[in-house]
Structures are given as C-alpha cells and as structure tokens.
Amino acid sequence: MLSEKQQRLESFSQTRYRPIKRDGNSYADTYQWARQGIARVLPLIKEHPRQDQTARLMRDEIDFYLKRCHEYCIKQRIGAHYREVGVSKQDCDFEHVIPKALTRELLIYGELTIQEALNIPTCLLSSKKHRLINETHVSTTPNPWLFWQRYQSNLSKLKIETYDGHIVDMGVWSLGTHFEYFANFYNER
C-alpha cells in the first residue's frame, strides 16, 4: 500500500512556466524585486550585533540582489553602461568598474542608496585588458568617486564610451556624472 506522500510524489507533474519576454516591463519588475529585497535585508544587517555567519549570509543576500539586477537589467539589456571603444562585444568581459563587494559595503554603511547601488558603473572591457588588470592585482577602485582611476593607472591608451556612443573623459567623469547620465535608466521601459 502506497503512502499518501508517495502517491502525491509519483503523480506530481512539474509546472511548465511560460518564458518571460525581456522587455521594459521585465527589467522594471527585476529592478523592483531587487530593490525590495535589499530594502528588507539592509536594516537587518545594520542592526546585527556580530560579524558571524548570519551577517555573512545577509551580505551574500545583498550580493545576490545586486548581481541579479546588474546582470539582467544592465548586461542583458544594454551590455554595460560603458564599453571600450573599438572592441566588439564578443571580445569583451562584463566588468564592475567599482567592484560589487565595495558597492555592497558602501550601501551597508549608507554611502550609496539602494538605487545607486543597483545602477553602479559597469563596463564591457576587452578580455585582454580585463586579464591584464587582474594580473596586476588591481581588484579594487582606489577612489570610488573618480572610479576610472583604476583603468587610467593600469591601462594606457584606453578609450571608453557610454553604451549609446558618448565618449567619456575618464579624467573628469565621476560617480556623480555617472548617476546623472543614467538617472532615468530604470525608469525607461
């Protein structure tokens, strides 16, 4: 005689979800989902008294929301905020100009808003230059406000443009400029 649970499992039919079309609505939904998730966990981590496994899991959760939003709403939508001039997308790596771990910490300590963290600068950098910058152990940004310094200090003759073709003067293009330029990014459908 089969148990009730065995009967249910043997007759279980997995749900077939319909594919979701990537468009302005799906990007807006993903952004709102990530924003709400971070808004829920951020006060918990700020109030957590210890640096223990629970704190690590909360940081991991924030990382998950940031990564999911960046990869879906930015990488899948426009490739990246910025790209190396003259290099095809196929020859590039998606790179966070300000590393995600630093973005998370700036968010936790109140230096970035959730909206800013979800719209942190990303770049399509040639795989060769990405490897070069990693080989020189430059895995952080010396100055998050002037976030292009890492590239300028380690990659000579690099030219960057916005995803829509605006040439970037890396000497003056700041995080403030980035947030102004992409202020309506998540409002566009």
What pLDDT score does 189 carry?
Answer: 47
| Contacts by 29-37, CB closer than 8 A, 24 or more apart | 30/68, 30/69, 30/72, 30/73, 31/69, 31/73, 31/118, 31/186, 33/65, 34/65, 34/66, 34/68, 34/69, 34/118, 35/114, 35/115, 35/118, 37/61, 37/64, 37/65
What is the spatial distance between Cα 149 and Cα 155, in angstroms, rounded to a whole number?
10
Name the region of 47 (left: φ>0; alpha: ψ -120 to 50; beta: rest): alpha
Q: What global pTM score does this model have? A: 0.87
- Residue 106's pLDDT is 95
Mean pLDDT, residues 6-23: 89
Give the strands of the sheet with 122-126, arranged side by side.
92-96, 122-126, 82-84, 160-162, 167-168
Q: What percent of the chain has pLDDT over 70?
A: 96
Q: Which residues contact 88 (CB under 8 A, 6 or more apart)?
A: none
Residue 26 sits at the vertex; the CA angle it makes with 104 and 36, to the nearest 5 degrees, is 40
Q: In which band, very low, low, confident or very high, does the pLDDT at 139 lie, cut at 50, 70 and 90?
A: low
Tens digits of per-residue pLDDT, 85-130? Answer: 999 999 999 999 998 999 999 999 999 999 999 999 999 999 999 8
Mean of the per-residue pLDDT values of the chain: 91
Place of tokens 């102004």: 180
What pLDDT is attached to residue 150?
Answer: 85
The per-residue pLDDT for 131 is: 87
